[in-house]
Amino acid sequence: MSPPEAARRTLLHTRTVTFNGYSRDDGLWDIEGRLRDVRDYESLGLDDHLIPSAEPVHDMQVCATVDNMLMIRAITCSMAARPLISCEQTQAPLQSLVGVTMGSGWRRAIEARMGGAMGCTHLRELLFSMATAAYQTIPVYQAQLVRKGLRTAAERAQAPRHLGQCMTWDRAGALVQRLHPQYFTGSVAGSAEENAISAADPDHVDD
């Protein structure tokens, strides 16, 4: 069956979320996230000022500096566009994330420190996905160095976090046996209780 003919439509809103990961000369890493909301029509801001079409309503950027273990060493925020000046006050709670690791429990850590009225919905949205961006930047890059022979497996800071988190990366599977033989088990890794906890945890970071 072919899909029904699309109705005529008019673009009203575009949200763009981007992430960039950088290797720093000091051995640390910068993970940057940016969120922009643009309306394709003239609108009124929360303080009734006029926002021209295509001018951003939100333009917020967070930069987290992390180490090899994905622990936050420093974090900064900028708001080129925000609904109200008071929105800038929501940047302060970000500093409570220094020392937190982007891994299991990441979302819970964000909610505990800047959830609800303590923080900003848009900053939380960026932060939630920054863990995945950090993973794609750091462990994936380190794994590529190992595969290219530019680094030994023993130099890895830790076992790849995606192992055992999906069918493709089953520790008993052929791909793990080929790419990460030191972590290959030949059987389902962990006890039944551990596997149940892992499957129920929404905060794990996938490859």
Question: In sequence order, what are the residues at sequence separation of 6 or more whose Cβ sits closer than 8 angstroms to the Cβ of residue 53?
Answer: 39, 40, 41, 42
Cβ atoms of 62 and 94 within 8 Å: the answer is yes
Mean pLDDT, residues 115-129: 86
Same domain membership, residue 171 and residue 73: no
Q: Give me the pLDDT at residue 168, please.
A: 66
- Which residue range(s) make up the domain with 170? 159-200
> In this structure, is residue 163 part of a structural domain?
yes
Cβ atoms of 105 and 113 within 8 Å: the answer is no
Per-residue three-class SS string for the chain = CCCCCCCCCCCCEEEEEEEEEEECCCCCEEEEEEEEEEECCCEECCCCCEECCCCEEEEEEEEEEECCCCEEEEEEEEEEECCCHHHHHHHHHHHHHCCCECCCCHHHHHHHHHCHHHCCHHHHHHHHHHHHHHHHHCHHHHHHHHHCCCCCHHHCCCCCCCCCCCCCCCCCCHHHHHHCHHHCCCCCCCCHHHHHHHHHCCCCCCC
Q: Which of 40-49, 74-83, 135-144, 169-178 has the lowest mean pLDDT?
A: 169-178
pLDDT above 50 for 139 = yes
| 136 vs 117, residue with greater confidence | 136
- Which residues on neighbouring strands pair with residue 89, listed in sequence order? none
- pTM, entire model: 0.71
| Number of domains composing the chain | 2
Domain boundary among 137, 168, 187: 137
Same domain membership, residue 43 and residue 128: yes
Question: In sequence order, what are the residues at sequence separation of 6 or more whose Cβ sits closer than 8 angstroms to the Cβ of residue 197?
Answer: none
Q: Give me the pLDDT at residue 199, please.
A: 40
Same domain membership, residue 120 and residue 21: yes
51-77: pLDDT as tens digits: 899 899 999 999 999 999 899 999 999
> In this structure, is residue 207 part of a structural domain?
no
Q: Which of 28-32, 141-145, 198-202 has the lowest mean pLDDT?
A: 198-202
